[in-house]
């Protein structure tokens, strides 16, 4: 991060409504100065969180000039169908694109809104704002780079006033007043804070400093040690310091009991896992908000509390314990302490996921430090980057064909998908009001299997905030799995989540989605239902100008890496026919060729994959040396396709038996007449399985 030293304004501050003026009460020490690419990262995180709210969110985006909207266009085009409205403000220096559900509002040059970069999200369950203005950082009088000074905030007053100002600036009515759910908002911001703290660009740009207006999350995430013996007392201290809690206890589940693990005040006793308010929250996997009466046992444990909030704690998706927090407000739902407890519990979820349960209970911040705990093997993280089951040393068995309900994309990446009849579905925690908005109605303990481990799904909403969405999909077999009834793990939802992460350059979230996919589906289904359609969507988005070149490269590199991992982990037949697969001379797009190589190997073919841009002379040497049964070449450009003409002539110079020569790629759709110029070759099209079958048939009859 560049420290606020001598910075001068790029342009004079304009007249008219200004969102930046809403930050006047925030000290300079809590404002950051960052380059534009950091603002892109922050915006992407807000947009990703906003789209999960379903059609309830209104987004307002200020890009200073319409020509700068291209930095946001791909992502906005993707999420627009999932939002209630999106409004873009800026100086009309360029014709804006036509996007469904996106309104462009021109602002006059020199006015305040034309000199501010902002993004506001407003919905009943998530609201926040990124507001910044450009500054010029100078060295020896020469402008070196443009920085932005700004704030990332979840302050409801700033968001409401910003929405009102923007409505008035475009002559619209004041926004309707909606009922807000502070617990949901705080939980979503905890997830956003964690995403920034673990973002791949975190260290290079010090994204952590952008959390200055979220001091509680900043304090907890900045804890130098994530060992639970230090982390959990720190969490209690954060609750008391920032949310005015009146007593805190963290229970750890041990057998049939909830055992105190960290606390403030006197040491509480252990209790049965289904007793009291903490037991209710734990056994039902739901947040509990309860006003206290003098006869309640919790009143004796937390004597200063008028009400309590209890939140289940998870470790790698498995129930770990309960956070019980006292509140001075007799109305448990209206207290900011409840929202703080929910947010802290949400942050503890990933942090606990990296820890092994400790055997020694410890005291809260007011007591002495606990004795050291003997180390043990850590539990797998809920969002770690453990290698997928397909990338391990264990051989992956060949995947038998399964008839899909619709033709899968071509192995060459040239068949665009059919337009969807409806926008992609929101995530599993979409627009329906979640059940955590009111206290749990029942105090009956859950069935014993409620404590069993469940598949880890990454750092999404904690289970106590998710609406019921039906049975989770079972782990994948070696057959091509059908889309799951769980909306979060359906193919459209997985493609949407992975594309959103890749377009936002969020490697961490992309790896989370990938690990989920590998947990539930076999490799063939992953290729045909996720990676191939995803790559097509990225390519089509780039051609339409909705996805930048950088985003296309980032996404393609991710897909390419995963395919190569699958290919390298797949066993090779010792007796199958040999095929050389590569990209034609001058061809740089190799994903289709890698995917076809993978399916050929699964079909029992010995594959020698040579990669991109293989010179014709190298192909000739390899054919002469290896004498393969098949030569498979990919070409997506006309120039690369023309280079295949020489390959056909070269193969005719070999004495029989010659290899079967097959080729494919987008170029032969753009210019069908090219097929007539390549002698001795067979053009391939269709699904991956169909192409593999055609190649096998040609080899058999050769």
Please report whether residue 528 resides in a domain. Answer: yes
Quote the pLDDT of residue 60: 95
Please check whether residue 553 is in contact with residue 560, taking contact to mean a CB–CB distance below 8 angstroms. Answer: no
Residue 465 confidence (pLDDT): 56
**Percent of the chain at pLDDT above 90?**
39
Domain assignment of residue 77, yes or no: yes
Residues 562, 591 share a domain? no
Statement: residue 50 has pLDDT above 80: yes
Which residue in 624, 627, 594, 630 sits closest to 612, CA to CA? 594
Mean pLDDT of 549-554: 83
| Omega cis (within 30) before 657 | yes
- Same-domain status, 225 and 250: yes
Q: Same domain for 500 and 489? A: yes
Position 431 confidence tier, pLDDT thresholds 50, 70, 90: very low
Whether residues 576 and 550 fall in one domain: no
Q: How confident is the model at residue 460 (pLDDT cuts 50, 70, 90)?
A: low
List pLDDT tens digits, range 394-415. Answer: 233 333 333 333 333 333 433 3
Mean pLDDT across 466-485: 37
Tell me what the mean pLDDT of segment 612-619 comes to.
Answer: 92
What confidence tier does 170 reach under pLDDT thresholds 50, 70, 90?
A: confident
Across the range 251-273, mean pLDDT stands at 91
Instruction: Supply the pLDDT for residue 259.
Output: 94
What pLDDT does 137 receive? Answer: 54
Asked whether residue 678 carries a pLDDT value surpassing 70, the answer given is yes
**Residue showing tokens 């239902």:** 529
Mean pLDDT on 201-205: 77
Highest mean pLDDT among 9-18, 23-32, 447-456: 23-32
Which of 161-165, 382-386, 596-600 is the least confident region? 382-386
Whole-number Cα distances in Å, 421 to 417, 418, 424:
12, 9, 9
Per-residue pLDDT at 10 exceeds 70: no
Parent domain of 676:
570-701
Average pLDDT rounded to a whole number, residues 661-669: 89
- CATH number (domain holding residue 315): 3.30.450.40
Asked if residues 576 and 606 have their Cβ atoms less than 8 Å apart, the reply is yes
Q: 564: domain CATH number?
A: 1.10.1240.10
Instruction: Specify if 296 maps to a domain.
Output: yes
Q: What is the pLDDT of residue 570?
A: 85
**Residue partners of 539: CB distance under 8 A and separation at least 6:** 413, 552
pLDDT at 702: 80
pLDDT at 490: 85
Of 69-83, 97-111, 134-148, 542-556, the poorest mean pLDDT is in: 134-148
- 530 and 559: one domain? yes
The CATH number of whichever domain residue 134 belongs to comes to 3.30.870
Residues 652, 505 share a domain: no
Query: Which residues make beta-bridge pairs with 311?
Result: 323
CA distance 694 to 686: 10
**Considering the domain boundaries, does residue 420 fall inside one?**
no
Residue 461 binned pLDDT confidence (cut-offs 50, 70, 90): low
> How many separate domains does the chain show?
4
Q: Are residues 548 and 591 in the same domain?
A: no
- Same domain, yes or no: 41 and 95: yes
Choose one of 303, 320, 352: the last residue of a domain.
352
Q: Would 430 be classed as within a structural domain?
A: no
**pLDDT tens-place string over residues 63-103:** 999 998 887 888 888 889 889 999 999 999 999 999 999 99
Rounded CA-CA distance 195/197 in Å is: 6
**pLDDT per residue as tens digits for the range 490-518:** 888 898 889 988 988 888 888 889 988 88
**Looking at the structure, do residues 157 and 254 belong to the same domain, yes or no?**
no
Specify if 422 maps to a domain: no
Whether the pTM exceeds 0.85: the reply is no
User: Of 304, 320, 352, which residue is a domain's last?
Assistant: 352
Beta strands in 101-225 (DSSP E): 102-106, 117-122, 127-139, 142-153
Residues 74, 33 within the same domain: yes
If we measure between CA atoms, which residue out of 673, 677, 692, 607 comes closest to residue 644? 677
Strands 58-65 and 85-91: parallel
Crossing angle between the packed helical segments 182-197 and 336-352, to the nearest 10 degrees: 30
Each residue of 294-337: pLDDT tens digit? 888 899 999 999 999 999 998 877 889 999 999 998 887 778 99
Judge if 123 and 166 occupy the same domain. Answer: yes
Q: Which of 569, 590, 606 is the last residue of a domain?
A: 569
- Would you state the pLDDT for residue 129? 96
CA distances from 392 to 387, 396, 616 (A): 7, 9, 35
Averaged pLDDT for residues 567-573: 85
654: domain CATH number is 3.40.50.280
Determine the straight-line distance between the first and last CA of the chain, rounded to whole angstroms.
64
Query: In this structure, what are the phi and psi dihedrals at residue 538, rounded to the nearest 5 degrees?
Result: -65, -45
CA–CA separation, 113 vs 2, rounded Å? 25
The pLDDT of residue 628 is 95
The helix/strand/coil state of 289 is: strand
Nearest to 133 by CA among 46, 38, 204, 33: 33
Range picked from 168-177, 398-407, 422-431, 501-510 for highest mean pLDDT: 501-510
Task: Name the token pair of 406.
Answer: 């619709």
Note the pLDDT tens digit of each residue in 110-132.
899 999 999 999 999 999 999 99
**């070149």: which residue's tokens?**
549
pLDDT of 141 strictly over 70: no
Residue 682 pLDDT class (50, 70, 90 cuts): very high
**433 lies in some domain:** no
Q: Are residues 11 and 147 in the same domain?
A: yes
Lowest mean pLDDT among 82-96, 199-213, 267-281, 565-579: 199-213
> Looking at the domain assignment, is residue 44 inside a domain?
yes
Confidence of residue 574 (pLDDT cuts 50, 70, 90): confident
Between CA 116 and CA 19 the distance in angstroms is 8
For range 375-397, the mean pLDDT:
28
């Amino acid at each position: 991060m560049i420290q606020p030293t001598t910075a001068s304004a790029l342009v004079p501050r304009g007249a008219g409504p200004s969102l930046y003026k809403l930050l006047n009460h925030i000290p300079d020490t809590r404002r950051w100065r960052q380059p534009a690419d950091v603002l892109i990262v922050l915006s992407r995180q807000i947009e990703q969180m906003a789209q999960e709210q379903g059609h309830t969110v209104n987004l307002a985006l200020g890009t200073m000039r319409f020509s700068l909207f291209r930095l946001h266009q791909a992502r906005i085009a993707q999420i627009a169908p999932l939002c209630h409205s999106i409004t873009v403000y800026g100086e009309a220096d360029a014709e804006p694109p036509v996007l469904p559900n996106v309104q462009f509002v021109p602002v006059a040059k020199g006015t305040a809104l034309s000199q501010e970069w902002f993004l506001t999200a407003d919905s009943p369950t998530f609201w926040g704002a990124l507001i910044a203005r450009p500054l010029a950082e100078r060295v020896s009088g020469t402008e070196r780079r443009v920085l932005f000074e700004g704030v990332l905030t979840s302050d409801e007053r700033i968001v409401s006033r910003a929405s009102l100002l923007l409505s008035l600036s475009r002559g619209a009515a004041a926004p309707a007043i909606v009922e807000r759910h502070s617990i949901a908002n705080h939980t979503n911001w905890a997830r956003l804070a964690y995403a920034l703290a673990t973002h791949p660009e975190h260290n290079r740009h010090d994204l952590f400093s952008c959390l200055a207006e979220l001091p509680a999350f900043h304090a907890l995430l900045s804890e130098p040690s994530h060992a639970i013996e230090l982390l959990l007392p720190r969490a209690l201290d954060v609750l008391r310091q920032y949310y005015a809690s009146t007593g805190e206890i963290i229970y750890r589940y041990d057998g049939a009991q909830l055992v105190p693990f960290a606390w403030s005040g006197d040491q509480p006793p252990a209790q049965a896992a289904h007793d009291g308010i903490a037991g209710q929250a734990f056994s039902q996997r739901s947040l509990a908000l309860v006003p206290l009466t003098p006869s309640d046992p919790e009143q004796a444990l937390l004597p200063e509390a008028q009400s309590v909030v209890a939140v289940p704690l998870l470790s790698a998706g498995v129930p770990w314990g309960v956070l019980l927090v006292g509140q001075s407000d007799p109305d448990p739902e209206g207290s900011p302490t409840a929202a703080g407890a929910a947010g802290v519990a949400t942050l503890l979820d990933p942090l606990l996921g990296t820890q092994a349960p400790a055997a020694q209970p410890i005291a809260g911040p007011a007591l002495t430090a606990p004795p050291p705990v003997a180390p043990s093997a850590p539990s797998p993280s809920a969002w770690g980057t453990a290698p997928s089951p397909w990338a391990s040393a264990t051989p992956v068995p060949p995947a038998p064909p399964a008839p899909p309900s619709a033709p899968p994309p071509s192995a060459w990446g040239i068949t665009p998908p059919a337009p969807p009849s409806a926008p992609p579905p929101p995530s599993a925690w979409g627009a329906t009001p979640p059940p955590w908005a009111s206290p749990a109605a029942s105090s009956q303990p859950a069935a014993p299997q409620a404590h069993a481990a469940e598949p880890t799904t990454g750092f999404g909403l904690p289970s106590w905030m998710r609406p019921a969405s039906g049975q989770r999909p079972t782990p994948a077999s070696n057959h091509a799995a059908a889309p799951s009834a769980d909306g979060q793990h359906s193919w459209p939802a997985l493609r949407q989540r992975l594309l959103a992460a890749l377009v936002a350059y969020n490697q961490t979230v992309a790896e989370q989605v990938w690990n989920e996919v590998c947990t539930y589906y076999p490799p063939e289904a992953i290729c045909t239902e996720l990676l191939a359609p995803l790559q097509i969507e990225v390519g089509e988005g780039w051609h339409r100008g909705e996805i930048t070149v950088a985003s296309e490269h980032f996404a393609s590199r991710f897909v390419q890496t995963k395919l190569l991992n699958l290919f390298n982990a797949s066993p090779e037949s010792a007796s199958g026919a040999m095929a050389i697969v590569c990209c034609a001379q001058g061809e740089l797009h190799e994903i289709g060729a890698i995917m076809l190589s993978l399916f050929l190997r699964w079909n029992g073919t010995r594959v020698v994959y040579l990669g991109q841009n293989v010179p014709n002379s190298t192909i000739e040497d390899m054919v002469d040396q290896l004498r393969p049964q098949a030569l498979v070449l990919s070409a997506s450009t006309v120039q690369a396709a023309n280079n295949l003409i020489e390959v056909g002539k070269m193969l005719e110079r070999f004495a029989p038996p010659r290899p079967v020569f097959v080729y494919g790629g987008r170029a032969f759709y753009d210019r069908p007449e090219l097929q007539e110029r390549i002698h001795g070759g067979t053009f391939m099209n269709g699904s991956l399985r169909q192409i593999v079958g055609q190649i096998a048939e040609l080899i058999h009859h050769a």
